[in-house]
Amino acid sequence: MDGLFETYLTVLDQMDAYPAVIAKENAHYLPFLMTTTIMMEAVKAGVGRETAHHAIKEHAVATVNDLRAGKTTVNDLVDRLANDERIPMDRAQLAAIVAQGESNAGAAISQVAAFAKAISDLEATHPQAAAYAPGSIL
């Protein structure tokens, strides 16, 4: 059990959060994660589910392939979908869907802040425990 706590303390001691990295990851992956919502909104706008699914899949696969091949460095899935006549939404509508997803998925910053505050409160209550340095785990 002591080894488990030593490992836990080592991880906490070495943990860092990088908001810029989180934002970059969201920009890169979030459009893909929001494709189901985009499809549902396209269906609500009158497109058949299979038509919407096919168009979104086609552009998502092309975007991934272009990113992997280095043809593009930016996820342009929203632009591709906005330019597809099968998807009855403009770029602003599609970007709003992705932005809504970001507000739902981007909880990492607030979670890290809440965790840091809880640790800070514990440190204030137990200063001798805060000074403890875990031993080497490897």
Has residue 138 been placed in a domain? no
Has residue 136 been placed in a domain? no
Has residue 137 been placed in a domain? no
What values do phi and psi take at 70, rounded to 5? 80, 10
Per-residue pLDDT tens over the stretch 2-19? 889 889 888 888 888 788
Q: Domain range for residue 114?
A: 2-130
Token pair 């929001």 is found at 34
Mean pLDDT of all residues in 39-50: 97
Q: How is the chain split among helix, strand and coil, in percent rounded to 5? A: 75, 0, 25
Has residue 30 been placed in a domain? yes
pTM: 0.70
The CATH number of the domain holding residue 51 is 1.10.40.30
Mean pLDDT of all residues in 28-46: 96
Q: Could you tell me which of 96, 94, 102 has the C-alpha nearest to residue 52?
A: 94
Task: Please count the structural domains in the chain.
Answer: 1
Give pLDDT, residue 105.
66
